[in-house]
Amino acid sequence: MTDGPRPRHPALRVLASPAGATWRVVVCPHAGGAASYYRRLVGAPGAPGSAAGAGAAVPPPTGPFATSPEVVAVQYPGRETRFGEPLARTMTDLLADVSGPVRGLLADGVPTVLLGHSLGASVAARIAAGLGPDAAPDLLVVSGRAARADRPGTAGDAGEGSDVVGPGPAARDDDALRAWTAALGGTPPELLADDEFFALHARVLRADLAVHDSLAATPGDPADVTVPLLLLAGSDDVASPPASVAPWAARGRAGVRRRVVEGGHFFVGERPDEVIEALRVALTAVAAGTCADVARPSAEDRWVWSREAVATDLREPAVSTGAGS
């Protein structure tokens, strides 16, 4: 990690920057989310702030990225530290706000993982596509995002996943939003029942769902992912089950890895230790030139991506359980 004062920008929140860090994780949050949620990654074993010691069950990591990473979260406008700014309501406006700061951050050459969760995966994929080969992240992580959700309006088989990204444009009243948010998990029930809190949350969530709705009309759809790609999915995610995330691999052109993590839609917060380790292992493979662990399927193929098809340790090759018709 470079020494000296770091550039500051309201669109970036440095959640942890441990001394001696050799790699970085940049996170694009989910719809309705904000930077502070991803402090959970800071507290993961092996990550900055972890209390795991010599007696921990998991052996300490080794290799070029054995250190705890710097963790930086993208802060979308209109929330937390940027509450007074107008919310973005199209992907074009959101990218105009956050792409430049991310580009500036990556200019220092520190090995970087760009992770987008849920709606954030669509943000991250478009940021990566716009950076070009000289400024691109070393690894793009698509987390908890159905492939068809990234391209609303495209044809697809309902069997590939529920593709649930919201209650639908015509049904986004407060009751529908509460029910949908509760179904996804990640928000304490007592907060959802608090009308004052929910009014603030609904304001942000509706804007972010409008960003999702704008994807079909957003120019520059990243048809190909030209940087190494890691797919993460929650085993019990009702919105983006593993089978719905898997077709992203057809867009990978620089190697694809995949990992199913126990948990629901917010498995990143539920199992941050597993997520950090998956990022570390994948980035190590990228550095060694061995990123790909699955064959890239044709666009027509539909994977049945079960937990049994994914190696527990990504150092071992994962095997697809089969291809669709």
263-321 pLDDT, tens digit each: 999 999 999 999 999 999 999 999 998 776 554 444 333 333 333 333 333 323 332 22
- Confidence tier at 216 by pLDDT (50, 70, 90): confident
Distance CA 82, CA 57 (A): 40
Question: Do the beta carbons of residue 46 and residue 58 sit within 8 Å?
Answer: yes
Which position has the higher pLDDT, 129 or 53?
Answer: 129
pLDDT of residue 321: 27
Which position has the higher pLDDT, 104 or 155?
Answer: 104
Strand boundaries in 235-315, DSSP class E: 256-261
What average pLDDT is seen over the chain? Answer: 81
Lowest mean pLDDT among 127-131, 179-183, 249-253: 179-183
- The answer, yes or no, to whether residue 83 has pLDDT greater than 70, is yes
pLDDT of residue 172: 67
- Confidence tier at 252 by pLDDT (50, 70, 90): very high
Strand boundaries in the chain, DSSP class E: 12-16, 24-28, 70-74, 112-117, 139-143, 229-234, 256-261
pLDDT of residue 7: 52
Q: Which fold would CATH assign to domain 12-48+63-309? A: Rossmann fold (3.40.50)
* Cα separations in angstroms, 149 against 84, 165, 194, 247, 286: 29, 7, 30, 11, 27
When pLDDT is averaged across residues 31-42 and rounded to a whole number, the result is: 94
Q: What 8-state DSSP symbol labels residue 109? A: -
- The answer, yes or no, to whether residue 256 has pLDDT greater than 70, is yes
- Confidence tier at 217 by pLDDT (50, 70, 90): confident
| 119-131 vs 91-106: helix crossing angle, rounded to 10 | 60
Which position has the higher pLDDT, 236 or 49?
Answer: 236
pLDDT of residue 132: 80
Indicate the domain borders of the chain. Answer: 12-48+63-309
Label the pairing between strands 12-16 and 70-74.
antiparallel
pLDDT, tens digit (0-9, with 9 covering 90-100), for 148-206: 999 875 543 333 334 445 555 544 688 888 888 888 888 888 988 899 999 999 999 99
- The answer, yes or no, to whether residue 46 has pLDDT greater than 70, is no
Q: Which residues contact 45 (CB under 8 A, 6 or more apart)?
A: 52, 56, 58, 273, 276
Kindly tell me the burial class for residue 206, based on how many C-beta atoms sit within 10 Å of its own C-beta (0-12, 13-18, 19 or more). middle
When pLDDT is averaged across residues 98-109 and rounded to a whole number, the result is: 95
* Cα separations in angstroms, 154 against 126, 138, 147, 198, 239: 18, 29, 10, 32, 17
Distance CA 250, CA 237 (A): 21
- Confidence tier at 219 by pLDDT (50, 70, 90): confident
